[in-house]
Structure 1
């Protein structure tokens, strides 16, 4: 019982509330909330029109943050819709993206309210949410209701050794460093071919646009893991329509064929400053998410012939699907957590993943 001489304290009205957004209606408001948070205005506008308005799976699930006394939203977060497979069945998934809160409201409380709103909206509209938070944000994601599903691990393999010889021996004349590098290249290529003899011949073709791999995709085995549906509409949107600039050059695609037709496909993006070929996605006819040694040998040859020094690939997958990459000398370089939630009843066990860089937003 309160003291009769002390007036009862009135409840404090909430200052913030999250509510559903609409990508078509709220474009200007979202871009305003992004400004100064997520990147250059022109680039973010291009991303919005591509990722938010043009995705074949539909417009994202979006939450806007309202503040008492403010007409415009002071924060936003979204989940981009993705058609995915899980245990062989198509599900409605969403990738967590673009959390932004304006500077004057930037604290844990508003961000948490936004994320809680998105979690609730995802439960209504989706079967699965997943994302790639900064490791420091892991406690917040656990508090909201997400759990760690796995790790996205970047693996790399050297295909041209001359840059590394020059780096290790900077006083060595460039022609000699190139010659030593070529010698190491030849030696590693010969070692790989001897180790994986009898793997067959593959013809490699570089394409500036996503090839039609519908037949390859249809014929391929699909893992039980959570993995994206790679039909022609998704590939054209994800790679051909994606915004480009100096930091994000266009994607190029490597198509491998054998006597039976299309055998494998890689979506790649070049980092010219380091002569690195980043593999953003891949699929194979006979192995699905698991490339054969022959396919990876063909990728190594094609990258070497194109002048790249390093191949890099990011995967959140299991040991079996990763093993061919490791057999061909790809080594782990960095890792980051994958968090998410499965909204099915009782789905609280381990989640088998096969995610690539293409399963993010850029």
Structure 2
């Protein structure tokens, strides 16, 4: 029996895109709607033309009466670990339909077409999207085995206190709290005994993939954080201001932890931790390293730190023990697995914003 979702709009068809030939068409659809508006060409070239892990897929939505291309969706190969073996998944990306054609059935046809194409080349497909895209993904057959929980820690209160306290009281309260925080941090700095070497760098340090290689990966789903992945994902794809924070027992020593940090494009006072890895791997995060991250974020002038995580309980507990609290969530959509396998996929995973398509 056909339902309203299975009967698609026959005024539209999905066609296979050509990565080189259709570059301008895709960027034209993105313009004004998704992505880094001042770096769309770079975003396309890095993701679709310069991917080091294989050839991405591209599907286009054509409006039959006019012959115009009015929508686009992509999927890029992503090397991952799951249950102790390496596999290639497809991260579904850059889902966009022009506003005058933005209704459920055309978008649904485009999403279903990409899910089917992805499963012909990859073991499964997944994606992180906004609420509108998520509604389409659910109808297109994507499941949700996990939620990335957004955790936030305030570093300064000057801009936050006026939200909860009226007028002058909010401003004065924020100033008093910030003064107390500054004094407390100064006292802790005097008695600081961590002895850790903590430094910012703009380059991927070879010790970063080395830390990932020697740590415990468990049986859950996680991206393979090789040098090639870190270089491509974090140096190729756009960001406002991206740096790496390295934590080691001494200069040049093997790392204890690393963090990928960038300025939030919509809230410049927020430092977003796009990815992080610890010597304990999926078995646990170093609270002292997280504390150093907070200290360095404060010294860099940020008001707060945010991180999105779908990780093992020991890792999650370490972040929460350092004052990070849940302030929202984002579903991880997965296609190509039956409910039982998808449930297994969510157990023991280590997923962060490294999975975003850039």
TM category, shorter? 0.7 to 0.9
Correspondence for 1:232 among 227, 233, 238: 227
Question: Which one has the largest radius of gyration?
Answer: 1
- Say if 1:188 and 1:156 are closer, same or farther in 2 by CA, change over 3 A: farther
| Partner in structure 2 of residue 53 of structure 1 | 49
Q: Using the alignment, how far apart are the partners of 2:80 and 2:123 within structure 1?
A: 10
Correspondence for 1:326 among 313, 320, 323: 320
- Tell me the secondary structure at the aligned position of residue 294 of structure 1: helix
Correspondence for 2:145 among 146, 149, 153: 149
Whether the 8 Å CA contact 1:38–1:44 is kept in 2: the answer is: no
Q: CA deviation at 1:114?
A: 0.8
- Say if 1:134 and 1:180 are closer, same or farther in 2 by CA, change over 3 A: closer
The Cα offsets for residues 216-275 of structure 1, whole Å up to 9 and x where unpaired, read as: 1211111322111111111111111223xxxx4131110001155211110001249653
| Partner in structure 2 of residue 290 of structure 1 | 284
2:91 is aligned with 1:95: yes
| Partner in structure 1 of residue 178 of structure 2 | 181
The Cα offsets for residues 45-88 of structure 1, whole Å up to 9 and x where unpaired, read as: 22111221122223322212233344443321112221111122
The Cα offsets for residues 157-183 of structure 1, whole Å up to 9 and x where unpaired, read as: 122345546775864798996565232
Give me the TM-score of the superposition, normalised by structure 2.
0.83
After TM superposition, the structure 1 stretch with the greater mean CA deviation from structure 2, 272-281 or 42-51, is 272-281
CA RMSD of aligned residues (A): 3.4
Whether the 8 Å CA contact 1:83–1:93 is kept in 2: the answer is: yes
Give me the TM-score of the superposition, normalised by structure 1.
0.82
After TM superposition, the structure 1 stretch with the greater mean CA deviation from structure 2, 258-267 or 170-179, is 170-179
- Tell me the secondary structure at the aligned position of residue 126 of structure 2: strand
- Tell me the secondary structure at the aligned position of residue 24 of structure 2: helix
- Say if 1:162 and 1:137 are closer, same or farther in 2 by CA, change over 3 A: closer
| Partner in structure 2 of residue 269 of structure 1 | 262
After TM superposition, the structure 1 stretch with the greater mean CA deviation from structure 2, 119-128 or 172-181, is 172-181
- Tell me the secondary structure at the aligned position of residue 108 of structure 2: helix
| Partner in structure 2 of residue 9 of structure 1 | none
Whether the 8 Å CA contact 2:115–2:335 is kept in 1: the answer is: no
Correspondence for 1:308 among 262, 282, 302: 302
Whether the 8 Å CA contact 2:92–2:126 is kept in 1: the answer is: yes
Q: Using the alignment, how far apart are the partners of 1:111 and 1:173 within structure 2?
A: 45
Q: Using the alignment, how far apart are the partners of 1:40 and 1:360 within structure 2?
A: 13
| Partner in structure 1 of residue 215 of structure 2 | 220
Stretches of structure 2 lacking an aligned partner (at least 5 in a row):
1-8
Aligned residues: 344
Q: Using the alignment, how far apart are the partners of 1:184 and 1:341 within structure 2?
A: 46
| Partner in structure 1 of residue 26 of structure 2 | 30
Q: Using the alignment, how far apart are the partners of 2:329 and 2:338 within structure 1?
A: 28
Correspondence for 2:112 among 116, 136, 161: 116
After TM superposition, the structure 1 stretch with the greater mean CA deviation from structure 2, 157-166 or 53-62, is 157-166
Whether the 8 Å CA contact 1:87–1:225 is kept in 2: the answer is: yes
- Say if 1:169 and 1:306 are closer, same or farther in 2 by CA, change over 3 A: farther
- Say if 1:322 and 1:190 are closer, same or farther in 2 by CA, change over 3 A: farther
- Say if 1:189 and 1:57 are closer, same or farther in 2 by CA, change over 3 A: farther
Whether the 8 Å CA contact 1:165–1:181 is kept in 2: the answer is: no
- Tell me the secondary structure at the aligned position of residue 349 of structure 1: helix
2:63 is aligned with 1:67: yes
After TM superposition, the structure 1 stretch with the greater mean CA deviation from structure 2, 148-157 or 14-23, is 14-23
Stretches of structure 1 lacking an aligned partner (at least 5 in a row):
1-12
Q: Using the alignment, how far apart are the partners of 2:100 and 2:131 within structure 1?
A: 24
Alignment of 1:1-20 (within 5 A): 14-20=10-16
